[in-house]
Amino acid sequence: MNKLVRFGVSIEKDLHDKFNEGIKKLGYENRSEAIRDLMRNSFVEDKWNRNSIVVGGISIVYDHHKRELLNKIMDLQHNYHEIIISTQHVHLTHNDCLEILITKGKSQTIKELYGKIKALKGVGHVSIMQSGILSEIIKLDEK
Ligand code: NI
């Protein structure tokens, strides 16, 4: 485990009060954990913006009776098999399926796959989860 360091921060009172109020609503018990989360989020966001190797998820809700759509979703998954490390399929209702793709690869490639799935005609809700690999996020010597 990394050694903890303490540091002082000066910010405007309004911003301070708003931050305290916001993190209380989110359920944080202390400011340190909230600040650590903000830092991690900003490192992950930076990784995604710089086309680094990241992990993420794409969720797709669709009607499995639309056979042509089903084939297109499957074709796309095979075209991007190198970045899809796992898939999970759940039969939500008689009609609806939820598929979750866990991806690992260049962020642009993951976003490209996400864009192509989202653009499919007849597809339901599609969303992307942007995450990162913790040991890589905290590497400070990276160029
Ligand atoms: Ni299903």
What protein residues have CB closer than 5 angstroms to ion ligand 1?
A: 64, 91, 97
Specify the residue for token string 């190797």: 53
Cβ count within 10 A of residue 133: 15
Residues 105, 100, 126, 97, Cα dihedral to 10°: 150
Are the C-beta atoms of 97 and 90 separated by less than 8 Å?
Answer: yes
CA of 111 to the centre of ligand 1 (A): 24
CA of 133 to the centre of ligand 1 (A): 30
Q: Do 42 and 84 belong to one domain?
A: no
The parent domain of residue 93 ranges over: 53-134
The alpha carbon of 101 and the centre of ligand 1 are apart by a number of angstroms equal to 14
Tens-digit pLDDT profile for residues 37-82:
999 999 999 999 999 999 999 999 999 999 999 999 999 999 999 9
- The answer to whether residue 5 is domain-embedded is no
Q: Are both 60 and 31 inside the same structural domain?
A: no
In a domain, 143, yes or no: no
Task: Give residue 120 CA to ligand 1 midpoint distance, Å.
Answer: 18
> pLDDT class for 137, splitting at 50, 70, 90?
low
Distance CA 70, CA 135 (A): 36
